[in-house]
Every structure is written in structure tokens, then in C-alpha cells.
Structure 1
Amino acid sequence: MKLRQALNVQRGDVVAFTGAGGKTSALFRLSRELAAEGWRVLCTTTTRIAEEELTHAYSQLSVSEDSLRPMAISRLLSAHGSVFLHTQIDNGKVVGLSPSVINALTDSVDSDVILIEADGSRRLPFKAPYAHEPVIPPCTTLVVPTAGYDVIGQPLDAEHVYNPEAMIERYGYLSGDFIKAPWVASVLRDEELGLKNTPDQARVVALLNKVPYTKSHRLRARVISKLILRQNRINAVAIGSVQELTPVLESQRRVGAVVLAAGLSSRMGQMKVLLPWEGNRPIIRVIADRLKRLRMDDIVIVTGHMAEQVRDALEKEPVRFAHNKEYREGDMLSSLQAGLRALGPEISAALVVLGDQPQLDNRIVLQVMNAYAEGRGTIVAPSYQQRRGHPILLDRMYWPEILDLPRGGAPRDVINAHADDIYYVNVDTDSILRDIDTPADYQEARKRAGLG
């Protein structure tokens, strides 16, 4: 995945990289990606960087508060696509721009994006800020707090960490102790450390950099990202190594499950989501338990017919409920709309789960969610012999269209309208196609599941 995709950079963004462990590399990598796509990219720093780093810049120019030189900047952007702006080079250090100058640039230069290194770390992989840091311009729209994964296992001391005293004071860590993975998450998500000085309006995507591209390290990085995402201020965590050919392995975001359990079950003759399944537990409880094991960021059960009994069946389960008042209409749309409205603003995607699909396979769910994290599609669905099944993952960008569908519409209308955005996970089981509508379906499903 490209860094631009993982950070979801938009035209007009002012992007500030903070923290340690690859800020400069990330800035120049993003600059190259955007320039290659025809963007006009301004780069700068609000601190100082080593003069040798300018070898990565396509062009450079010295400006000042009294002389922004917009025409010269525009010519360089037209010729090279990207330019690094500074005020001077002093004793091997490139001195950057003040926040006020950067703010002026947003109105006076015809650029598409501004990229800023807004923090210093003496090239160490992990940091806590001092009182004057970081220097994030108020006009910033995207902040990227960064940490080097390679700090894990290193001693918590000044040789390996920038300002370790701040971490020791805040969390009680012992000086010299080997740094543990959860410590990285705690610092990055801390509003006084990793998120310090972040403007209220800015989006936040953390970058866990220098992750070795092996399965074990990737899984460990996912655990760290889940801990980071406990802070709702952070929208996503990019996992990767920005100097690799593929700079980002995946972007972890919050995914909530919407379980549709509101129907009348008229063809079954009784409430199908309450029928017994494994261990004589109701189908809906089995599904909720499987989703719980996946550590979904939220689980919303959409109720309708026999809502009280469905709630009772899920007593003590970590789920929330949304009631579909229009359940008697018998369509999926109104239930999905109720579920989407119940998900919080911190949720990036919804996993749409059928409440009458007890053979929900967590391995398939993980494949769907991993495909989304890897940026393969903003709609992800399992497919068996070229037939689309459930559960289907929908990025938040499609929710407004679904919520605007009129009565009689169907979610598939929106999905099919964005066919180019769909990624299909091919599976070797037709369980993704099978739900339970009739007594015969139920008996057949029990037999296939080995339940007699």
C-alpha cells in the first residue's frame, strides 16, 4: 500500500509529521508519491533537519516571512512537482519555517498539499516531547505521530529514546528497562505525549515504522495498533517501513459489526435467530460470541420482531442494540440503516452480518478484514464460485448513500454502483451464501454443522 493511501491524504491537506523513528523518510516518501501523481507538493519543517536530508528533495528554495517568493515556488513546482522550503542552512542544519509563514503559504502559493516535519528527535526511534515541542501549525489538517518499531526491546535511556524522563515520570517506567510493545502504544496515544499540540480539527493517523515484513512482527504490530486505537482521537494506524518498496503493509482502522436480527421469520414460523445452535445456545448468541472473539471495535445488534427476547438471549454479551421500528416492512435496508446510525463517528467501516447465518466462519471474517486493512478494496466481500456472500465490509464513505436510499431500495444498489471498489475474497465454502429461512434450511444447516 502507498503511504498516501494509508494516510488518506487529500488535496488541500496540511500534513504534520511528529514523533520519532522515520518522520523525514516518511515526508520525502509521501512527497515522491504525490509528485508522481501530478500533485504540487510543498515540503518544509518547523524545526531543523540535517542538511544531508535535502538530497532527497526534488528542489529547494530559501524564503522568509518578508519574502515568500510565491512566483519562484510556483516555477519550481511546475518544473519538479515538489519543493522543500527553508529560511537558511546554518552549520549543517536546515532551518525551517514558522507556523505563521506556513499559514501564509496556504493562501499565497498554488500547491496541492503541504508536508511538514514538525518535531525533532535526534534520529532516535522513539520520543516524548519537551515543553516547546512539537511545533504544529494551527492550519494543520492531518497529524502523523510516528514511532520506530525497532525501539522495542531497547533500553529506556537517553541513548535510545528522546526525552525518556517524560515517559518515566508519566507512567512510572524504570530507567534502563527494556521497552515493551504496549509502551509504544501508550506514548503515541497520550494527549500529553504523542498527541501533544494536535489541532482540534486535525485528523490523526499514527505511523508505526520500521516493522520487519515477517508474520510474527506484523502480528505484534497489529496488537500495538489495536492498543493505539483505544484513543478515539486517532483515526487509523499505518503499519510498515517507509523505505521499503511497499511502504505500508496495512492500515488498521476501527471496524464495527452490524448484525441484522430484526426480521419477522415468517417462513420459519418462529424467531429463527433464537433457535438453538451450538451448546443449545441461540443462533444470535453464537454469532455474537464469534464476533466478540474477533475483538470487533463495536457490535450492534439490530432488533425488531421479538426485540425483548433477542436482548435477553444476549444478556452479558458485549454488544449494543439498535431497534428498527420499520421491521415489519421485512426489508434489509431499514435494519442496515438503523445499524449504521448506531455506530459512532470513530468507526471507519461496518461489517454487515446476517443474524440467521450461524455458520459464520471467523477465518473468512479475518480474511475480509485483512483485505480492507491492506487497502485492497473499500468494499470487501467473500465470494464462492463467483457468487457474493456475507459478511460484507463497507467503508464509511458509502454509508451516506445507503442512508439516503428510499424505502424499497436495497443495499446492493449502492454496492453494485461501486463495482470497481469491491475486492472479493475467494473462499472454498458455500457457507457464505447460506442463511436460514425455513425449517428445512435449519435442519440442513444443523446437519452440515455436525449438530444432528
Structure 2
Amino acid sequence: MNVWNRNMSSMEKLSEALDLDMTSCRRIGLVGGGGKTTALFRLAREALEAGLRVIITTTTHMKMERGIPLLVDAQPEAVAEALTQSPIVMTGCRDPKNPEKISGVSEEMLQAYEKLANLVLVEADGAKRLPLKAPAGWEPVLPGRFDVVIGVAGVDAVGKPFADTCFRPELAAGLLGKNVSDVVVPADLAELLCHAGGAKKSVTGSYRILLNKADGEKAIACAREVLARIAGREKAAVASLKEKMVVVLLAAGNSTRFHGNKLLYPVDGIPMYLHTLEMVRKLPVEILAVTQYEEIQQEMESYGIHVIRNDAPEEGISHSIHLGIRNSEGADAWMFVVCDQPYLRAETLEALLTCWALSPSRLAAVRCGDREGNPNVFGRRYREELLALSGDRGGRGILKRHAGQVSWLEVSDEKELTDLDTREQEKAMREKSETEGKKEVENTGKWPGKKF
């Protein structure tokens, strides 16, 4: 993850690279190509670091993010109440076509939000996850006045045909006097971002440009060329905002109290560790497994997962943590997931990623009421503290050391946090699940579905 200003000087904060004073802005909109949501969440985190209260919303359509307080079809009074419990809230209208998304709010609601929070961040355009975008007649959706609008484009569009890398390619090509089969060059990117009919359309306040996805030397060189072409026209920044999250699957324990390898023990007919693996594989992350067991290594490798052998499990979980860190070069963060929590849900893992992405301290963990549990996420700044762990002590001590800075994800079902250490415990959880399943049948006529 890197951020540069218009002079290609490395910066700590995206807002600084964009020359944005978020304390003086009430409403910021993001338009253009793919990468808007990532940039929006990065700005939200920086606003939280500055002690601001933030509302995230949209005037078009936006994916509901787990791991952040979400209000759908809520009146301003409800949003205000939510902001007393959390410094950040996501809100919008119910999307009639997609239950996984929120749809746009009105100018009246945006004005109400401005009275409740220090900063309202608005996703005001859609691009179907493509790096480049040309707006249709009704786009972007920028009602009222925005203090700043940020036009976003992915540098990875360069070198590809408009038809393959641009949303509404015929409009983009038309603005530039080209064909949709033509290959995008840096000059095209610069013109679309500065054109009054391109990303700058309908902008009445200040405008900024963000060249995202500058991943690698070739992309950075392209970004430099685009910057040279827009110099003196607009303020701009370059970024590689995608953070490298490595999930470390901890599967090397001796299972002493279980009297056998509990990770291979079937839960709902599936080996315990496979429940965890299936959940993690749904995430957009790099996965690394640490184990002492040949069977688990072979199965993990059959999924293309990099496996590190722990030949000294007697040194405790800290040794597995060290192996995971030392074998994940370039990681921005690590999520440590134990493989004896078969009731953990993919939605919880996804929410924890969002919780961490918004965490000013770069620390996130799960809990249910007063009970704290796994998994936990540690940003790179905690690398040395993690490597200083010894014996059978995991990251819990680090969380306690930074107790006031941890971003906690609350889960509603304590069962998710249960790690199975004994056969008696597994039996009790199985019987509880069967009882809950029977109640579900009585109430709905259906047995609860499998997780996968």
C-alpha cells in the first residue's frame, strides 16, 4: 500500500496527497472508475484518526459492508442515535433489486447528515468494478453542493482496449474521438479525468484526481505520465491502495486434551479444519497455513495454499505465528485464524476485514459481550511485538497492551468463538446444534442449511 502526491513524493495519508483538509469539508463525493469504495474507506479511516464523526452513504448503489454500523431506510434521528454509539455509520435506502446493496439517498437526507456528522462521504457513481468510466446523461449523481469531488481511475486501464476496461466504453471513446477497440493510453486517462463530460462532469466545487492501482514499476511509470499531462490543470494523487492481507491458518497444535488430532475430527461430517478453510477461501486475501500434519498439508496444498511445516509444535502457538509472519513477505497485515472454531462464519471474517480497514490503530478483534476470542487482525506496525511472543501465548497479550485502541467486532452468537478442545465439549456443542435445528424445523418447517 503506497500513496504519492502530485510530485510523486511518498505520503502517509491519502487526504494529504490529495491536498484535502477534511476538517473543513462537510461533503465529499467519489466518482469515476473502480477503486472508489477502497478510497472512500481509506479517507474514512483518516477522518476517524482525526477524531471526526463520519457518515458513509451513496447517491447510486453501494454494497452493504459488514463490520460497520449499518442503517437502512433510517430517519436522521436513528442515524444520530447510532453516532452516539459509534463514530462512523453507513446508511442508505433499501435497494429493491439487490438485498446486498443500499441505494441512493436524497439531497434532503444529505443535508440532514451534514448536521449530524463532521464529514459525509458519498459514493456518487458506479463503474461495475472497471477501472475507467465515462458518465451517461444522468451520471454522476451529485445533488446539491459537494465541497470536493474526487475523480477516480485505475492505472491498470492503460494498455487495454476501451471495450474491455471501461464502463460505457462507447461514451469514453466518443469523448476522445476514438473507437472502443482502441487501446487506452496515458493521454486518454488524463483527458477523461479532466474533461467536463468525463469524470469532472457536474462538479461545481473543488475537484481532485486519484490515480489508483499503481501497482508495480510499469503502472507507476504510467501514473507519472498521466500526472505530467494534468499538471497545472487539476490537483492529483497516485495510490496503490489495496493492502496485502495475509490470513494465517494455525493448524499445528498437539490436541493433547482431545486425545487425538482434533483438526481431523469430523464436525457435521467434515474434518474440523476444513470448516475454517472453506470460510477463509471466500475472502479476497492471501492464505498461508502452518501445520505439523501431513494430511492437512496435502489437503491445503491441493487447494493451492502455501503451507509452512511447523516441526516444533511443542514451542507453542507463538512459533506458528512467527513462521506465518516470516513467510509472508510484504504483508500489510495478518489475520490469525485457529482451525478449531468450526462454527465461525464467513460473514464474520468478512466483517472483521472491514472493521480492521477502518481501524485507526490497525488492530481488530472479535468478541461476544464480555467474551473476547479469535480471530484477530494485526497491522504491520505490530510485527515486532508479534515476533517477541513466546511459548503458548498468542496475540491476546498485545491486544491487552493496546486495549483502548482495539477495534472490536461484536458477534451475536457466542458459539462462533468456541474452540473445541475436548471431545466432551464437541459432543455438547453437537447436541446443542441438534436441539437448535429441531427448533428451527418446528418454527420454519426447514432444517438449517449447511454453511457450504
Higher-Rg member (1/2): 1
